Structure 1
Amino acid sequence: MIWEHPSLLFLLILPVLFAALSYFFGKWRQKKLRAFFSDEMLRRLSNPVWSRGRTARTILLYLGITLLVIGAAGPKIGSEIREISREGVDLIIALDVSRSMQAQDIRPSRLDKAKFEISSLIDRLQGDRVGLILFTNTAFLQCPLTTDYSAFRMYLDLASTDQLPFPGTDFNAPLQLARDTFRSRTRQEQQAAQVLLFISDGEDHSPSIEFTLNQLINDGVFVYTVGIGTQAGAPIPIYNQAGQFTGNHVDRDGREVISRLEPDLLREMAQAGRGVYYEIRRGADRIDGFTAQLVDLERREFATEQFSDYANRYQWPAAAGLLFLLVSFMIPVYKPVKIER
């Protein structure tokens, strides 16, 4: 059993307080009356009490109050299957901003192309909330879930490979942050479908993402991925603070590093997450199909959903409490008095 409003259970002390106050008030009243009247006079002035009736009324009165408090606290027992309507999509876009995203095998660069595609996607959204996560070997919530697309574009424009100056790429970090963001939604906000769009060139240096990915999928999140880059690859340019090209990235041996698209893990993520893997190999490639997937997903999977929840049984104690109170007021507590003539 759980309670809808457990804080109200402290009111269960009320019947005890009422009983104590009634007892002490009765004693005080008797003491005051005896100060002015004899016992015989009090007997003549007072109606004879029907002790059984008074006892029954007292028990039913306090029992009724107790049951009303229990009903107000909302006892939830057992389970019930409820059907709710889903509304809209909550879309989180995880964007790789590691140094390899500066490679120019896709013009003007992988990152610039990804930002262009995201901006085009936002143009086609209609009332769905969207959020932005940037990641390298760590992750940062650049923009929380919002329907303010102008604000989202502002945060998107600020995304750069200098924003998270940590080398390497760890897919676990954005996956965990996306899960935490979805789970932080209010109950009303959870009426929307959960979709993660993961954009990267596929270079992942984390040991394994299986556990984190499965947690996300078990929470009902659909995972779509976009691989951006080419198999031939390209060097990774380096720019100074003024934005001027200073050379290409080299390894410890002084050899130029070539960054290539690594699609295998991205494909596996989409397959496990009941999504679709898209690939951008040329500047003309688009992800227009993803918008259609969002519309179809909402219509197909989230028109309605059934879920099991604790059944609220407040009606039973509330109804019993009201009945006991009603009956208690109907029980006589005084014996009928015969008038002598």
Structure 2
Amino acid sequence: MIWEQPLFLWLLVLIPALIALMWWQSRRVRNWKKQYFSSELFSTLRKGFWPLGNRLKNISMLAGMFFLIAALAGPKIGTEVREVKRQGIDMLVALDLSASMNAEDVRPSRLEKAKFEINRLIERLRGDRVGLIVFTGEAYLQSPMTLDYSALRLFLDIADTEQMPSSATDFKSAMETALQAFNALEENATEAAKVLLIISDGEDHGQSYDEALNALVQEDISVYTLGVGTTDGTTIPLYEEGTGELIGYKRDNDGRVVTTELQPQILRSIANAGHGEYYSIERGNDGIDSFLARMDELEKGEFASQEYADYKNQYQWMGALALLFLCIYVLVPSYSSSNDK
């Protein structure tokens, strides 16, 4: 059992206080009887008094108060199964975690800016199922398709370039993982739009992704791309773990400083072939507002009903018992004509 308004339970202290007051008053009456009245006179003055009725009234009053306070506290007992219908789209976000995403041509960095914009995207979701894929040379389903946006944010927060075994980028692996995730959905709302949003700087060091992209298109999955970075090119800073102090810049096997730049033509090509659109973030004040506007135009479908268990309100029973006992208190007399002599 849980209580919806547990603060009302503090009112229960009034019941023992009232019992103590009733006991004190009864003791005063007995003392007055001994001091000022004889037994015969006291019986005459209280002619027709019904001790059992009086006791029943007191018990009913106390019980009525107890159940009334309990009803105000809102008891919830057991479970209640409710049915919820949701409408939205199915979307997977594939986030590039290659080393080049640490470049700072977009502040604070390409990766941090991408995560910030994904959080903005999550804030706009209303009944849409969304999941998260992280990829470099390999791809992992960081968060399966879900309506639990809080959990999705937790998975997004821990996404980091250091968590991946490879620092290169392979779009094919991200597309294959996305296709598996879409096919694994237990509930398949065929009328709902299916969207894969790839967020990357566009540098591709992997195998040809044409076959994987065609497989997505055949499953009516639209592929959108979001480029993060500038075409001017920049270095990839390296920071001391723990202190955050800049210790140098990423170098290749020959010891030369690596430069990275946004490759919009690759991302644009993916979006065109994937029946989607390409967007870009090249400055710190850029965002994914254009993609958010496009989301509102996508066809939304009704997902299969979801059931969840919840505690069931039982205050009405407490209120009914309170009313019953208070009615007894009012209707039962303390004096009975049958006791008159």
TM-score (normalizing by structure 1): 0.61
Tell me by how many angstroms 1:297 deviates: 1.4
Tell me by how many angstroms 1:167 deviates: 2.4
Q: Is the 8 A contact 2:235 2:259 kept in 1?
A: yes
Residue 91 of structure 1 aligns to a residue whose secondary structure is strand
Q: Provide, for residues 106-146 of structure 1, a one-character-per-residue CA deviation record: whole Å limited to 9, x for no partner.
A: 01000000000000111111110110000010011111111
Tell me by how many angstroms 1:174 deviates: 0.7
Tell me by how many angstroms 1:189 deviates: 4.5
Matches within 5 A, 1:189-228: 189-228=189-228
1:293 aligned partner, one-letter code: R
Q: Aligned equivalents of 1:185 and 1:202: distance in 2?
A: 28
1:280 lines up with 2:281 in the alignment: yes
Q: Aligned equivalents of 2:169 and 2:95: distance in 1?
A: 11
Q: Aligned equivalents of 2:187 and 2:124: distance in 1?
A: 26
Matches within 5 A, 1:1-341: 87-242=87-242, 243-298=244-299
Residue 114 of structure 2 aligns to a residue whose secondary structure is helix
Q: Aligned equivalents of 2:168 and 2:190: distance in 1?
A: 33
Comparing 243-252 with 121-130, greater Cα deviation is found at 243-252
Unpaired segments of 5 or more residues in structure 2?
Answer: 1-85, 303-341
Q: Is the 8 A contact 2:92 2:178 kept in 1?
A: yes
2:217 aligned partner, one-letter code: I
Q: Aligned equivalents of 2:152 and 2:191: distance in 1?
A: 22
Residue 162 of structure 2 aligns to a residue whose secondary structure is coil
* Equivalent in the alignment of 1:307: none
Q: Provide, for residues 291-325 of structure 1, a one-character-per-residue CA deviation record: whole Å limited to 9, x for no partner.
A: 221121116xx69xxxxxxxxxxxxxxxxxxxxxx
Tell me by how many angstroms 1:187 deviates: 4.2
Q: Aligned equivalents of 1:244 and 1:170: distance in 2?
A: 30
Residue 120 of structure 1 aligns to a residue whose secondary structure is helix
Residue 144 of structure 2 aligns to a residue whose secondary structure is strand
Residue 255 of structure 1 aligns to a residue whose secondary structure is coil
Residue 208 of structure 2 aligns to a residue whose secondary structure is coil
Amino-acid identity (%): 50
Tell me by how many angstroms 1:87 deviates: 4.0
Tell me by how many angstroms 1:190 deviates: 4.6
Tell me by how many angstroms 1:244 deviates: 3.3
Q: Is the 8 A contact 2:87 2:127 kept in 1?
A: no
Tell me by how many angstroms 1:192 deviates: 2.9
Tell me by how many angstroms 1:212 deviates: 0.5
Residue 162 of structure 1 aligns to a residue whose secondary structure is helix
Q: Is the 8 A contact 1:195 1:221 kept in 2?
A: yes
Q: Aligned equivalents of 1:191 and 1:271: distance in 2?
A: 22
TM-score (normalizing by structure 2): 0.61
Q: Aligned equivalents of 2:207 and 2:194: distance in 1?
A: 26
Q: Aligned equivalents of 2:261 and 2:227: distance in 1?
A: 10
Q: Is the 8 A contact 1:175 1:216 kept in 2?
A: yes
Tell me by how many angstroms 1:239 deviates: 2.5
Q: Aligned equivalents of 1:269 and 1:164: distance in 2?
A: 23
Q: How many residues align?
A: 216
Unpaired segments of 5 or more residues in structure 1?
Answer: 1-85, 304-341
Residue 137 of structure 2 aligns to a residue whose secondary structure is coil
2:112 aligned partner, one-letter code: D
Q: Is the 8 A contact 1:131 1:144 kept in 2?
A: yes
Q: Aligned equivalents of 2:105 and 2:169: distance in 1?
A: 19
Q: Is the 8 A contact 1:201 1:227 kept in 2?
A: yes
Q: Aligned equivalents of 1:188 and 1:131: distance in 2?
A: 15
Residue 298 of structure 1 aligns to a residue whose secondary structure is coil
Q: Is the 8 A contact 2:191 2:299 kept in 1?
A: no
Q: Is the 8 A contact 1:87 1:191 kept in 2?
A: no
Q: Aligned equivalents of 1:161 and 1:241: distance in 2?
A: 13
